[in-house]
Amino acid sequence: MDERQTQFHLHEYDALRGEIIALVVAMNRLVQFGMTAVAAASAWVLTVTHRDGPTWMWTAAAWLPFWFSVLVAFHYTQLRGQVRKLARYTVRLEAELGAPDLGWERSPERVAGGRAGSISFSTRVMLGAMHVLALALGLSLTLQLYVPPEWFEQLPLACRVLESCG
């Protein structure tokens, strides 16, 4: 590789690293905004006291936080795929232009937490918890809309006690 090609690839490497950083920042913002949207939709659904209108409308509203969480997870996965694609090419450039086995992509012990991927694991846990909570909210509110109140009165005493405590 001549000097001109090397300079081109060095600039390309810098641009790719900048693009990866921008995508990671976008992923973090997406998770923050997604969790805020799910929390806001959940708060709205939980605090509405007068549920006038058709039952299907309130059923759809009950599932709104869950669908927000699904959209956030889908978009997060898309961004993560783009980061991985760019990172694979960046690793190729590092191998060609740099010293072998150097670069943070090749040295997991240098990554925060001591393991590669540890940050994305915590994000997966947050997204998973967001899904579970939104799913539980949707199921709970749907049951309240479609199951007659008399049925809840027949629940065992322990369930009623927990309900009154919560």
| Domain range annotation of the chain | 3-165
* Spatial contact of 9 and 97, defined as CB atoms under 8 Å apart: yes
* Spatial contact of 91 and 116, defined as CB atoms under 8 Å apart: no
Residue 125's nearest CA partner among 61, 76, 62 is 76
pTM, rounded to two decimals: 0.69
* pLDDT value of position 108: 47
Tell me the C-alpha distance between 122 and 31, whole Å: 11
Low-confidence ranges of the chain (pLDDT < 50): 108-114, 166
pLDDT in tens, 7-52: 888 888 889 889 989 998 999 999 899 989 999 988 888 887 677 7
* pLDDT value of position 82: 92
Is the four-CA dihedral 117, 120, 118, 28 of positive or negative sign? positive
